[in-house]
Amino acid sequence: MNEYILALDQGTTSTRAILFNKQGEIVHSAQREFPQYFPRPGWVEHNPNEIWGSVLAVIASCLSESGVKPGQVAGIGITNQRETALIWEKESGNHIYNAVVWQSRQTADICEELKAAGYDSIFQQKTGLLIDPYFSGTKVKWILDHVEGARDRAEKGELLFGTIDSWLIWKLTGGKVHVTDYSNASRTLMYNIHQLCWDDELLDLLDVPKAILPEVRASSEVYGYTASYHFFGHEVPIAGAAGDQQAALFGQNCFEQGMVKTTYGTGCFMLMNTGAKPVSSEHGLITSIAWGLHGKIEYALEGSIFVSGSAIQWLRDGLRMFREAKDSERYAERVDSTAGVYVVPAFVGLGSPYWDSEVRGAIFGLTRGTSKEHFIRATLESLAYQTKDILVAMEKDCGYEVNTMRVDGGAVSNTFLMAFQSDILNVPVERPAVRETTALGAAYLAGLAVGYWGDLDEIRRIWTVERRFMPTMAEPDRELLYNGWKKAVYAAMSFK
Ligand SMILES: Nc1ncnc2c1ncn2[C@@H]1O[C@H](COP(=O)(O)OP(=O)(O)O)[C@@H](O)[C@H]1O
Ligand SMILES: O=P(O)(O)OC[C@H](O)CO
C-alpha cells in the first residue's frame, strides 16, 4: 500500500493541505481562504478557530478527493505564517484574544518605548532580530496588557502562548502537546538563538511570564499523534514543523552554507543558509534559526519585504488594472521599459534593509506619455528591486558573492519578473519543478523524522530545476536602472 506525507501550510491568507509521494511530487492538494480582520488602521488579526476550521477542512478535502486513506499518511509536517501570536486557555482551549498577525502594527508604541529605553542592542544580540511590531514578543505583551486579568492567569499557568505551529500541534493532539520548533521560536523576540533558551532578561523586559511558553523542539521529530477523532480514527505522527520561510529554504534543498532562496508570496523573504554559525547583520538584515535537525542547529540570514505579490493584488483589486495576477506579465511585456517610472510599494512601511515603518508608497517619473503598461511593469520591477536591496545587504554581511538564487511562491510563475530579476541581480535564478516549496520543506522534515526519506542525499536526488534564468542585461543599464530605484526609495522616505 502506497504511503504519503501530508504537509499543512498555514499561510497568512489561506491554508493548504498537500499530499506528497516518495518522489516529492504533489499527489493532491486542497486550499481554503479564511477571513482577515482589520479592527483599526494598520491592525491585522485572525480568529484562531477559523484557522483551525480551515485546517480541518483542507485535511478532509485532500483525503476524500485523492482517495488516500488516513492510514496511508506516514506523517504530518506543519509549516506556518510566522510571528503571528495567540494566547489560549489551557483548560478550555478558548483563545483570550484573536491571533495578532505578523503584519499588524498595533504594538508600534510598545516598540517605540523599548527603543527609547535603549534596548535595541540587547534584543539584537540575543535574538538576531530588531525591535519591530513584526515579531511576536510585543504582540504577546500587548495581549497580556489588554485582556483583563490575563497576566495574573498567565502567571498561574492557566494560559498558553503559541505561534500558529504550536496552536495546530496542540489542537491536532487533542490538547496534549504544547511545543514549537527552533525556527518558529527564533521569530518571537523572546528566544536566545545562541544559548537556545527562552531568555529571562527579555521576558522581564516584555513582562511575559515564562509559564505560558511552549517547549522548543527540533524541526524534525515526532511531537505527538493526531487525536483519532480529528483524523478519521487514526493516530498519525506529527513529525515536523518549521516557519514557512525556513521550510521553503529546506524545500529548496538549500542545505549548504551560502545557498539562497527567495519566496515571492504576499511579502517576499530571502534567506541564506549560514550553517552552524549565526551571522549578525550590519546592513539591516535579521538572523534566525533555519532549523534544528539531527541534533544540530543551522542558522539563516534573512531579508524580509512586507509588500511583494500583494502589490500585484493592489493593481488587480485596488486599481482594477487587470482581472488576474498573471495578466500583469502580458501588460508588462507590451512595453520595452517603464520609461523612467518607479513604483515604491511601501504600503505598510519598509522592512529590510530600511526598517522604516513611517514611509508610505510612492510613484515617481510620471509623464504625459505614461501608460497603464508602464505602470504595471514598474510595479512588477519593484519586486525585483526590493529583492536586489536585500541581496546587496546579504553579500556585504556574509562577505562573498551569491552565485545562484532559487525562487518559489505565487509570483514566480511570472516569467517576465524572473528574467528581470536575474538581469537586475546579475545572478542566475532557478525555478524548481515543484513550486510548493514551503509545503515540500515541511513534508521533508516530517518524512525524515519517520524514516519515509532516509537522509538529505535521498532528498537531493529528487529535487529538480524547471527553468534557469540567466542574466543578459549590460552592466551600465543595470546600474542606471538600480540607481533610479535607490533615488525613488530615498525620495519616498523623505516624504513623511
Ligand atoms: N503571475 C503572477 N505575477 C505576479 N504576481 C503573481 C502572479 N501570480 C500570483 N501572484 C501574486 O502572488 C501572491 C500569491 O502567492 P502565494 O505564494 O500563494 O502567497 P501567500 O502564501 O503569501 O498567500 C499574490 O499576492 C499574487 O498577487
Ligand atoms: O504566510 P506568508 O506566505 O505570507 O508568509 C508570512 C511570513 O512567514 C511572515 O514572516
Residue 273 marked in a binding site:
no
Residue 12 marked in a binding site:
yes
pLDDT exceeds 70 at position 275: yes
Q: Whose CA is nearest to atom 10 of ligand 2?
A: 82
Please tell me the distance from the alpha carbon of residue 37 to that of residue 382, in angstroms, as a whole number: 27
Report pLDDT digits (tens) over 218-254.
Answer: 999 999 999 877 666 788 999 999 999 999 999 999 9
Q: Whose CA is nearest to atom 11 of ligand 1?
A: 309
C-alpha of residue 267 to centroid of ligand 2, in Å: 7
Ligand 2 atom nearest to CA at 244 = 8
The predicted structure's pLDDT at residue 234:
84
Report pLDDT digits (tens) over 287-339.
Answer: 999 999 989 999 999 999 989 998 999 999 999 999 999 999 999 999 999 99
Q: Which three cell numbers stand for residue 371?
A: 501608460
CB within 6 Å of ligand 1 — which residues? 11-14, 265-266, 309-310, 312-313, 325-326, 328-329, 409-411, 413-414
* Integer CA distances (angstroms), 235 to 227, 230, 414, in order: 6, 9, 41
| Sheet strands (E) in 124-181 | 159-162, 179-181
The predicted structure's pLDDT at residue 399:
85
Q: Whose CA is nearest to atom 10 of ligand 1?
A: 411
The predicted structure's pLDDT at residue 20:
97
User: Hey, which residues does 286 pair with through a beta bridge?
Assistant: 302
List, in order of start, the domains of the chain with CATH numbers. 4-235 (3.30.420.40), 253-495 (3.30.420.40)
Burial class (CB in 10 A: 0-12, 13-18, 19+), 144: buried
Q: What percent of the chain has pLDDT over 70?
A: 99
Q: With contact defined as beta carbons under 8 Å apart, do 16 and 29 qualify?
A: yes
Q: How confident is the model at residue 1 (pLDDT cuts 50, 70, 90)?
A: low
| Sheet strands (E) in 92-141 | 99-100
Is the ipTM here above 0.90?
Answer: yes
Report pLDDT digits (tens) over 44-103.
Answer: 999 999 999 999 999 999 999 999 998 899 999 999 999 999 999 999 999 999 999 998
